[in-house]
Amino acid sequence: MNNPLIFGFALVAFDVAIWRCAIPKNEVARLLVRLCVYAALSSLLFNSGLSPFSKAPYADSKPLHVLGQVLEIIWWLMGARLLSLALDTLLLPKTWRRQRLFQDVFGALVFLAAVVAALGFVLELPVRGLVATSGALAIVLGLAIQSTLSDVFAGIVINTTEPYHIGNWVAIDGVEGKVLEMNWRATHLLTSQGNIVIVPNAVAAKAKITNSSRPPTLHGITILLEITPEARPGTVLAALEAALAGVRAVIADPAPYALVKRTSAISVTYEATAYVDDMSKKLAVTNELYDLCYRQLEAAGVALRPLGAGYAQPLAAAAPETDPRMHLLRRVEMFAALTQDELKRLAPLLSRRDYERGDTVVTPDKVLDQLTIVDSGVLSVVAEDASGPVEVTRLGPGDALGEAGLLAGMPARVTISALTASTVFQLNKDDLTPLLKDQPDVARLMCQMLSRRRDTLDKLGTPTPVAQSEQSVFQWLLDGMRKLHDLTF
C-alpha cells in the first residue's frame, strides 16, 4: 500500500481520537488542532494525486482505488463537519449556540452539499439528474412534513428575534414555565408543578408571549381584592398602601400603588401592585402581601367579601366586638391560648399611643417595661450591623414588641420607628404578671417568639448575652421571666 493512503488514514484516525477524547479541553483550541490536521490531510491528498475533485487513481488496483475513494469522501465529510463547528464556535452568539437550531440546520445543509459534491467529484455520478430527482422528492416530502417545516422556520424566527432565552420564565399560549430547551422543533418549558410542556415553535411564533425575566431586576406582583361596597374607598386604599409599605422585599422604584379596579352592586374590586428585584421572591412576597392586606383591612374595620356573597350578606356575620381592644388581643399570636373571660379582663388594661410617620418608638438602649401591640400602620425594626444599620423586619397589625425587656429585663438592641402613621396599645409589666402566672402556655409562647427574634439579631453580629453557652436562648429567657415575674412553673 502506498504511503499517502497510510498517512491519510492515520491523520483521520488522529482527528477521530481528538474528537472522542476531547483533547485539548478548550473548545477553540481543539477546533484549531483539528483544522491543522485537516490542512495536513488536504496537503497530503493534493500533493499525492488524490485530489477530492477528481476520481481516485490506482485504476489497476481495485483495493487501492476503493481506499482512495473512501479517503477522498472522508475529506469532504471532515470539511463539512469542521465548517459547521467553526461557524458554531467562532461566529454564532452564545445564546444561539445554546439553542442549537442554527447549528443543526446549517450542519444539515453543509453535509448535504458535501455528500452531493462527493458523489459528483469522487464517484462521478450524474449529479444533475440526482439533483433534479431530489428536488421533486423534496417537494413531495415538503408537503408531507409541512407542519414540521413550519416549526423549523418558526424556530428560525424565534431564534433571530430572541423573545426569550434558556432559563427565562415565560408564558406561551397560556402555559407558564421556565425555558429548559429551544431546538428546531419546539420550546421545552418546566412548569411550577414540575411538568415538562413542549410548545411547538409554530404555536409560539403566533402566540402572545410574556417574558417575566425581562427586565431581569424588575418583576411585578398584582393582587385583586373584593371588598364590601359599604367600606369607604379612602379607608380601603389607605389600608392597602400600609400593607404595601409593610413588605420589606418590595422595591421603592417603581413605587407600589393601590387603586380601585372596578365596582359592582355587590362589591368593589381593588388592585394592589408592587415590584421586586428577583423572580424567586414573587411567591413569598405575594403571600406576605395577601396576609398584610387582610391584617391592615381588619385593623381598619373593613371586611373582605367572598365571591358570590350578596349585598345584604357581609362577611362579618357575627356581632362585632364592642371594645376594639378585645378585637386587637384576638389578633395577637401569643394570646391565642386565652379564653374570652381572660381577654375581657386584660383588654381594659391596654393604653393607646399614636405615632406619626418617622417617629421613633424604641431606641436600642431602652429597656421596655411594657408589651406593645401594633393596632394599625407599619413599624420598621432596624439593627446595627458591622456595615451599618440593617432593617430586620417590619411590624403590622397584631404584631407585638417589647418582650425582651418585659420578660428578661434586656434592652431592645434595635431601633423601631414608624414607617406610616401608626397606632399601638401597651400593656404594663405589672398588669401582665398575673396573666403569666395563670397561663404558663402564654409565657412559653412569648419566650419562643423572642428567642426567634434573638436568633435573627445574633446573625447580625449582636449576640444575646446568654450566661451559659450550653444553655438555649429559650431556656435562658424562660428562667429570666420566672425570676422577673416571680413565677413558679
Q: Which CATH number belongs to the domain containing residue 282 in this structure?
A: 3.30.70.100
| Separation of alpha carbons 249 and 327, rounded Å | 29
The separation between the first and the last C-alpha atoms of the chain, rounded to the nearest angstrom, is 101
Is residue 5 within 8 Å of residue 61, measured between CB atoms?
no
Mean per-residue pLDDT for 315-329?
64
Name the average pLDDT for the chain. 81
Per-residue confidence (pLDDT) for residue 233, from 0 to 100: 92
**Do 286 and 383 fall within a single domain?**
no
Q: Is 362 within a domain? A: yes
Per-residue confidence (pLDDT) for residue 19, from 0 to 100: 87
Q: Which of 125-139, 158-172, 419-433 has the lowest mean pLDDT?
A: 125-139
On the 0-12 / 13-18 / 19+ scale of CB atoms within 10 A, 128 is exposed
To the question of pTM greater than 0.85 for the whole model, the response is: no
Per-residue confidence (pLDDT) for residue 377, from 0 to 100: 92
Residue found by looking up cell 469522487 in the block: 122
Tell me the backbone φ, ψ of residue 296, rounded to 5 degrees: -70, -40
| Distance set, CA 297 to CA 43, 226, 240, 353, 359 (Å) | 83, 12, 7, 20, 23
What is the number of helices (H) and of strands (E) in the chain?
16, 16
Q: Is 152 within a domain? A: no
**Do 181 and 276 fall within a single domain?**
no
Q: Is 317 within a domain? A: no
Q: Is 319 within a domain? A: no
| Separation of alpha carbons 365 and 415, rounded Å | 9
| Separation of alpha carbons 390 and 378, rounded Å | 17
Say whether pLDDT at 185 is over 50: yes
**Do 140 and 232 fall within a single domain?**
no
**Do 116 and 185 fall within a single domain?**
no
| Separation of alpha carbons 110 and 117, rounded Å | 10
**Do 206 and 224 fall within a single domain?**
no
Domain boundary among 299, 332, 354: 299
Is residue 151 within 8 Å of residue 201, measured between CB atoms?
yes
C-alpha cell at 52: 477530492
Domain boundary among 211, 228, 244: 211
Please tell me whether residue 163 adopts helix, strand or coil conformation. Answer: coil
- What's the gap between Cα 314 and its chain centre? 38
Domain with 35 in it? 3-144
**Do 75 and 200 fall within a single domain?**
no
**Do 336 and 468 fall within a single domain?**
yes
| Separation of alpha carbons 288 and 339, rounded Å | 28
**Do 247 and 371 fall within a single domain?**
no
Tell me the backbone φ, ψ of residue 374, rounded to 5 degrees: -75, 125
Q: Is 151 within a domain? A: no
Per-residue confidence (pLDDT) for residue 315, from 0 to 100: 41
Is residue 89 within 8 Å of residue 31, measured between CB atoms?
yes
pLDDT tens, 123-157?
877 766 656 556 655 666 555 556 777 887 888 78
| Separation of alpha carbons 120 and 126, rounded Å | 7
| Separation of alpha carbons 400 and 346, rounded Å | 15
Q: Is 310 within a domain? A: no
C-alpha cell at 105: 440546520
Q: Is 104 within a domain? A: yes
On the 0-12 / 13-18 / 19+ scale of CB atoms within 10 A, 67 is buried
Is residue 227 within 8 Å of residue 297, measured between CB atoms?
yes
| Separation of alpha carbons 414 and 230, rounded Å | 40
Q: Is 304 within a domain? A: no
**Do 197 and 231 fall within a single domain?**
no
**Do 480 and 336 fall within a single domain?**
yes
**Do 184 and 239 fall within a single domain?**
no
pLDDT tens, 190-242?
998 889 999 999 899 889 998 988 888 888 899 999 998 888 999 999 999 99
* Total domains, the chain: 4
Q: What is the CATH number of the domain that holds 181?
A: 2.30.30.60
**Do 170 and 91 fall within a single domain?**
no
C-alpha cell at 211: 417574558
pLDDT tens, 266-317?
889 999 999 998 888 888 999 999 999 998 998 888 877 654 554 444 444 4
Q: Which of 55-64, 97-106, 265-274 has the lowest mean pLDDT?
A: 97-106
pLDDT tens, 446-474?
777 767 666 554 544 444 554 444 456 66
